[in-house]
Amino acid sequence: MRVAMRLGAWLEAAIEAMLRFAKAMTSPGDTGPDARLEIAWTSGVRDATWGLALRAAPREGAVIALCRVSSGASRRTLIVQDPLPPQEGDLSYHRGYVVTITSRYWNRVIDDLSGRSPETGIAVLHTHPGRGTPLWSTDDDTADRELAAFLFGEGFLKGSAPLVSIVVSADQLRARELRWTKDAGVRMHMVTRWRTLSRSRFEFRRTADAGPDVYQPPSWADRSVRVFGRDGQRLLADVHVAFVGTGGVGSITAEDSARMGFGRMSLWDPDIIKSVNINRSGSFTFADAQRGAGKAETLAAMIGRVALVRDIWLCWRKADVRHSREFARLLDVDVINMAVDDVRVRNFVNALAYAHFIPVLDAGNVIRSTAEDDVTVDAATVEAGGARVSVLVPGGPCLWCSGHITSRKLSLAYRTEAEVTADRARGYVEHLGPEHAPSVMPMNAMTAALVELRLQDLLYGLSKRPVSEVYYDLIGGTLDELPRDRVDGCRHCELVEGLGDAAELLHADD
């Protein structure tokens, strides 16, 4: 009877996991007109639009900004940036408080647009002073329809460019994308979520048009609800976090994240599990290594068994995340945790973070030991070691600014294993590094913990400080914040920031 019960429980878990995979693998669809709509902006742009417009209270205020699109598999993100604040005479008022954008303001915006790429569109934000959910008035509806018909109809906006109407109160935002065709006229599509990014905080909020958040934290979330409250647990359930690299650090971070209560997770790793992975990873077993199981697949199965959110949305991909067929799925996520050695992947995801407004926590560690090139030695000395977590977010420095990616490191990453082996045999090629990087569980667990703590800080706004990089020194035993600044005109972050679909990213199959 006991055996039967165990078998029954095992079967139930297996069926549950299979159903979860089936759900995950059929979920991503093509981006179409009905894709989920979200807004993304930096806190600086939010303040320069929403914040500025609110200053007109008790009258309505208005600000126009530029807008570009990031097209995911099931999410279309409207990236709002480059505000064009109103000047004297740009706004007029009816009945003393209802704002109108004058032709003078529109002419300035149209002039600005003419010098930009055809994918560039417009976001028009106006305020309804007071608190609570703002409602579009009949006047707003009429004005939006006329605006779309004019801008698209006269060719000032190309068909692929976004036009967004945003209305805000003192504390809430609603928005809709206005699309126009000659035959169908104007159609309005509601924005259901907005993401505000800064170096000290990642905020994800639903609009009133998203419908009620029905997620109820389960009783087994008791201890963490006592930390961040039920809303704090709901926040995690609403965040889609991706893991690029599910090896030593990534596997631990992903499993912990599932236990914390993230509601949607996507995993990318092209590798299979080997026996040498077991003593420095989470989740993996020698049986997994024996059958040559994929890392992402195996981790997903574990996550299905331990996730706090029992109907977690899971997607795993045994693939190089740089491949073009993976791209749309990656653009659906809110935050990326990256833990990979491959500089090509790190360079790709680095650019994506800025171009598509998807923040990244990049983690890595290194140990220098006298045994690193010879596993036959009995005595070894650890000479140095450290773990690092860098935050890549629009407005902040990127991995190039911080020197973690250089032209030389990137060049070396494109060499095949055969070339590296041949150069090792030559013996006089410098800076090739050890054949296999030394690694131990405590350093990977430490790195994973730093990633989780940094993400927790950024989601809940604990420190309220911009911390671009933390570094743990294995020998010194110290944990430091490293000063990192953006390099002016950096072509890897500043110059691609917010370009969305217009950004040229180098896919592995290009």
Partner 1 sequence: MSRKRVWDDAAKLTRPASTVRCVDVGETVVVVLEPFTPPANDAFVPGELAALAFTVPVAYPDAQPDATGFFVRPAGLKLADGRTSPASTSDASLPGIGNGWLKFSWAPKGAQWDPAIDTLETYLANIEARFLRRN
- To the nearest 10 degrees (0 to 180), the angle between helices 295-306 and 2-26 is 120
CB of 404 to partner 1, least distance (A): 14
| Contact pick of 26, 88, 154, 414 for partner 1 (by CB under 8 A) | 414
Binders of partner 1 in range 325-344 (CB under 8 A)? 344
Does position 411 interact with partner 1 (CB under 8 A)? The reply is yes
Strands 36-42 and 360-369: unpaired
Question: How many other CB atoms are there within 10 angstroms of residue 1's CB atom?
Answer: 5
Between 98 and 410, name the residue whose CB sits nearer to partner 1. Answer: 410
Angle at 116 between CA 111 and CA 117, to 5 degrees: 140
Q: What is the DSSP string of 153-211?
A: HTTSS-TTS-EEEEEE-SS-EEEEEEEEETTTEEEEEE--EEEEE-SS-EEEEE-GGG-
Binders of partner 1 in range 342-361 (CB under 8 A)? 344, 347
Q: Which residue's entry shows tokens 């697949």?
A: 297
CB of 395 to partner 1, least distance (A): 21
Does position 406 interact with partner 1 (CB under 8 A)? The reply is yes
Of 269, 282, 271, 278, which Cα lies nearest the Cα of 242? 269
| Contact pick of 95, 381, 407, 483 for partner 1 (by CB under 8 A) | 407
Between 154 and 414, name the residue whose CB sits nearer to partner 1. Answer: 414
Of 96, 151, 142, 88, which Cα lies nearest the Cα of 123? 151
| Contact pick of 95, 430, 483, 488 for partner 1 (by CB under 8 A) | 430
Residue 457 CB contacts under 8 Å (≥ 6 apart), including other chains: 463, 467
CB of 415 to partner 1, least distance (A): 7
Interacting stretch for partner 1, rule CB under 8 A, among 50-58, 75-83, 328-336, 408-416?
408-416
| Contact pick of 54, 410, 449, 487 for partner 1 (by CB under 8 A) | 410
Between 42 and 347, name the residue whose CB sits nearer to partner 1. Answer: 347
Torsional sign, CA 351, 352, 357, 360: negative
Between 276 and 422, name the residue whose CB sits nearer to partner 1. Answer: 422
CB of 118 to partner 1, least distance (A): 21
Does position 408 interact with partner 1 (CB under 8 A)? The reply is yes
Does position 435 interact with partner 1 (CB under 8 A)? The reply is no
Strands (E), 286-427: 313-317, 335-338, 360-369, 382-392
> Residue numbers of the site for partner 1 (CB under 8 A)?
344, 347, 406-408, 410-416, 418-419, 422-423, 426, 428-430, 491-492, 504, 506, 508, 510
